Homo-oligomer: A and B are copies of this chain.
């Protein structure tokens, strides 16, 4: 069991920032990433549709064999975490989402007890982050920043355009929250721009917080593998492999390879042979 990979699931490309953080926190673990690029983006879809798509991806990863599942997508975590946690429990696989780790970190660091959450329309409208923050006595507000996703995918992460977009979305937050959660996996790419528009504000990267939470959960469950050299990274996508590799480079710092196209409904056996070492 401990030699199985950790499954990392995202709607598309953004989850690569979570995979990068997991690589740093858990360098010896094998990571199997699945980006549902045939149905991306999840951020503008209804909760029912996001849950249906997410369950289909998770089921595919369970059939391939994973020892844990990280939902590296804020929208999928927001809508589908209860469903995926129940399905994971049925096959003995712990499921970690990106919302709670970010909220925990905000709760830990916010001095002013006032937190803003930046996300997609779906994440912000659902209000899951805001409810979790308020349950801990923090004041919370959400700002939907859908253009940040397009800017990150276009690679326009510095210069006039992202600065103006950030100013328009976030200018109204100045003098308000002392802590801001980057509640979409695309947003860490725009971190310098966001910080420039909101100087002095503490930015929380939910990818980093999730990697730390995953390491902790695996340790507690006795699921960590030992130091057997660097882990493998494998990438699966449901459409447009070429674009995934090209655009993914911006998110991961290197091309996400080896990558292959999968049909979620195809019969699959265990994907991962433990590599000879």
- A164-B162 Cα distance, complex, nearest whole Å: 10
Does residue A160 face the partner (Cβ distance < 8 Å to B)?
yes
How many identical subunits does the complex contain?
2
Q: Is the interface of A mostly helix, strand, loop or mixed?
A: helix
- Which residues, 164 to 179 on A, are CB-close (under 8 Å) to B? 164-165, 168
B154 touches A240 (CB 8 A): no
B240 touches A46 (CB 8 A): yes
- A175-B153 Cα distance, complex, nearest whole Å: 29
Does residue A195 face the partner (Cβ distance < 8 Å to B)?
no
Q: Given contacts A154-B146, A154-B147, A161-B168, is CB(A240)–CB(B45) below 8 Å?
A: yes
Q: Mark A221-255, 1 if CB is under 8 A from B, else 0.
A: 00000000000000000011001000000000000
- A160-B167 Cα distance, complex, nearest whole Å: 11
Interface residues of A (CB under 8 A from B): 37-40, 44-46, 49, 121, 146-147, 149-151, 153-154, 156, 160-161, 164-165, 168, 239-240, 243
